[in-house]
Amino acid sequence: MTTQSHCTLSDTVLEHLTSQGLDALPELLRVLLNTAMEAERQQFLGASRYERTDERRGYANGYKPKTLTTRVGQLDLAIPQVRGGGFYPSALERGLRSERALTLALAEMDVQGVSTRKVAAITEQLCGVELTSMQVSRAAAQLDGVLEQWRNRPLAETRYVYLDARYEKVRQDGHVRDAAVLIATGVDTQGKRLVLGVSVALSEQEAHWRTFLQGLVERGMSGVQLVVSDAHAGLQQARRAVLGGVPWQRCQFHLQQNAGAYLPRQSMRAEVAADIRAIFTALNQHEATTLLAKTVQKYAQSAPKLSAWLETAIPEGLTVFGFPAAHRRLLRTTNGVERLNKELRRRTRVVGVFPNEAACLRLVSALVMEVSEEWETGRTYLTMDENA
pLDDT in tens, 136-161: 566 666 677 778 889 999 999 999 99
Burial of 244 (0-12, 13-18, 19+ CB in 10 A): exposed
Residue 209 Ramachandran class (φ > 0 left, ψ -120 to 50 alpha, else beta): alpha
Separation between Cα atoms, residue 328 and residue 309, nearest integer Å: 24
pLDDT digits (tens, 9 = 90+) for 232-261: 889 999 999 999 999 999 999 999 999 999
The predicted pLDDT at position 23 comes to 55
Whether residue 317 has pLDDT greater than 70: yes
Could you give the percent of the chain with pLDDT greater than 70? 75
Stretch 281-309: mean pLDDT? 95
Average pLDDT across the chain, whole number: 81
Stretch 69-96: mean pLDDT? 70
Whether residue 205 has pLDDT greater than 50: yes
Which domains does the chain show, CATH number per domain? 6-87 (no CATH), 88-151 (no CATH), 155-248+352-357+377-388 (3.30.420), 252-332 (no CATH)
Whether residue 112 has pLDDT greater than 80: no
Separation between Cα atoms, residue 74 and residue 119, nearest integer Å: 21
The predicted pLDDT at position 73 comes to 64
Q: Are 200 and 356 in contact (CB under 8 A)?
A: no
Burial of 162 (0-12, 13-18, 19+ CB in 10 A): buried
The helices-and-strands tally (H runs, E runs) of the chain is 14, 8
- Torsion of Cα atoms, 327 then 333 then 336 then 339, to 10°: -160
pTM: 0.70
Secondary structure class of 63 (helix, strand, coil): strand
Stretch 167-185: mean pLDDT? 91
